Chains A and B, each alone.
Chain A
Amino acid sequence: MNKFNNANVLLEVKDLRTYFKTDNGILKAVDGVSFTVHEGETVGLVGESGCGKSVTNLSIMRLVPSPPGKIVGGEVIYKGTDIMTLSEKELRNIRGNKISMIFQDPMTSLNPYLRISTQMIETIRLHQDVTKQEARAKAIRMLQLVGIPSAESRIDCYPHQFSGGMRQRVMIAMALSCNADLLIADEPTTALDVTIQAQILELIKKISQEMGTAVILITHDLGVVAGMCDKVCVMYAGRVVESANTDDLYENPMHPYTKGLIASVPKMDGSREERLFSIEGQPPNVIDLPPCCPFHPRCNRTCEVCTHAYPPVKKTGDDHYVACWLHCSEEEREEALKAARKGEN
């Protein structure tokens, strides 16, 4: 039985849609994404670049730059309240306090003109009623926790005096300094060296377990997901195509895209002569996509309905959902095809 049940749902994203207005048309970066995060759970969001992972998470925090971006629909329910309907002030109380984020590029995510101490202390004092000294002490504790050596003196440095990995540690310390319930980590290791990557991931895992923080981990690295996440959502062209518990997904992938992704991870036990699998082609541009499964040109099991309608989400197992016509019944396909043809005429 799953240790996460409906009672301790922390965040529920329902049919989230975020569109961007561009010169060439409307870019549907996120087009109906739904998933849930339970307390203390680590959820992985996986997909190729440009599939809408980051925008999904910016939308959760309502941080999508507008214009050109706009959240056009959906709900993000955090502990029973819909974030989308909150006032600016209530929203600020959630940002950084209940839900915090760390970003992809630690080089640019810290303000280069302010000392680390300033940036950390202001965060703590923003959400907690403490004095400057207390906030500073807490900041130093957090820095020690994330493994910054001689934190007492380093706290007064400027960001450019830290290395990339160290900066990401500072970001994590800052993000968790208010004991957030949910940490959104947007590709936290992409800009770092491989050795540092492992350290940072280990750190996130350790701290989230210690503090009981739920984590949404955005990555394109299935290996990372396998090591860290309880649950995985696979995204393609702005939608979740498959979601399942990590072990379930790896053992029993349902969507051809997921299968392709898993097959393309190099295996240590595979023979060297064997060619590494790769999914042919490129992901589509999400501007003006016709109503169809966006993956069908790259799919090796396309049928007629794939080119005419988007598949519905089907539950195929315990907490395992997939959006693919292959897992629909014959009647459903026929019906969809008919409806689509009618629409076209």
Chain B
Amino acid sequence: MTKYIIKRLIGMIPTLFIIVTLSFFIVRIAPGGPFDGERALPEAVKRNIEAKYHMDEPLIVQYGRYMFDVIRGDLGPSYKYKDYDVNTLIGVSLPNSVVLGSMAMAVALLFGISLGVLAAVRQNTLLDYIPMSLAALGLSIPLFVFAPFLQQVFCMTLGWFPTTGWFMNDAPVRTAVLPVIALSFAYYADIARLTRSSMVETLRSDYIRTARAKGMKNSTIIFKHAMKGAMLPVVSYLGPAFAGILTGSIVVEQVFLVPGLGKFFVQSSFNRDYTLIVGVVIVYSVILIVMNFIVDIVYAYLDPRISYK
């Protein structure tokens, strides 16, 4: 097991390397630079600024320098927010995004798995139809429709929740409710559908028949015998789900004005704030890769047939 983990850890390096390289070059190759607008500046000053940010060096040297900095954990200064460095900007906003994302994931998993199992066990009853129609809705309503809709109904019309604010910045905790619901809905839908179908499939399998022939109770069969196998597709879905929640949080943060990383990301793309873009992408990728890694480990733990070699 340890060997497997180490191997997977080493395997993460090329992915990270590719991400950093790709985003670095995409951003640099693109026309237009962060200081191009300041033409009014005297040539000398401009050169000074560029020298300060090492932009006068050849691209490959800049790349090497940047790589070296990233390995040390320094994402460099922001080109646009002049007095901040990327680490500070990300450090301020990342916790909000991480909390939002993990709460959404937790909610999606909790409801998705429990309702999915329920639907599978009580097939073709109301307990099946209601969660599954909800899931069908979740699958078809895009986040950017659902989030404004929630805001319109629960903030504007009913007035149950404040329209803006975020509970980590001295606002009441209920400000978190709508963003979390909005973000988790689509993933609830996927997880519930996946859980249901794989549970139904598992319950039909031969080894469940064996368990029934042994005289086991239904609940024991479901939770002890079927759960592990049925959870495998759900676990392998979690990797893409994390990626989706990362991108989804951009919309949610915009609609509910959560001071998270997503807003920064879109803004820095418009501003061509190179270091900030690459920094945000690296942070997102690290989160994603770590999550994929955890998912793989959990999968290997659940399925004894996976060899660790």
Contacts and interface: CB of A to CB of B under 8 A. Distances in A.
A63 to B, nearest CB: 6
A111 B214 contact: no
Contacts of A65: 204
Contacts, number: 70
Contact of A95 (B215, B228, B305): B215
B41 interface: no
B214 A158 contact: no
Contact of A158 (B205, B212, B305): B305
Interface in A84-115: 91-97, 100-101, 103, 105, 108-114
Contact of A113 (B210, B212, B228): B228
Contacts of A103: 206, 209-210
Interface string A282-324: 0000000000000000000000000000000000000000000
A15 interface: no
A111 B305 contact: no
Interface string B200-225: 00001111011111111100100011
Contacts of A100: 213-214
B213 A95 contact: yes
A127 B225 contact: no
Contacts of B224: 114, 122
B162 interface: no
Contacts of B216: 92, 96, 122, 126
B213 A61 contact: yes
Nearest to B216: A126
Contacts of B209: 63, 103, 109
Contacts of A160: 304-305
Range of interface residues on chain A? 20 to 34
Contacts of A63: 209, 212-213
A192 B210 CA distance: 18
Nearest to A97: B215
B302 interface: yes
Given A63-B209, A109-B206, A174 B214 contact: yes
Nearest to B206: A108
Interface string B15-36: 0000000000000000000000
A34 interface: no
Given A92-B216, A100-B213, A123-B214, A114 B225 contact: yes
**Max chain B CB contacts within 10 Å: which of A95, A105, A127, A171?**
A95
B225 A111 contact: yes
Interface in A7-63: 61, 63
Given A111-B207, A112-B303, 13 more contacts: A63-B213, A94-B215, A95-B213, A96-B215, A103-B210, A112-B305, A113-B229, A113-B302, A114-B225, A123-B214, A126-B216, A158-B304, A158-B305
9 contacts: A94-B215, A96-B213, A101-B210, A108-B207, A110-B210, A111-B225, A113-B228, A113-B303, A122-B214
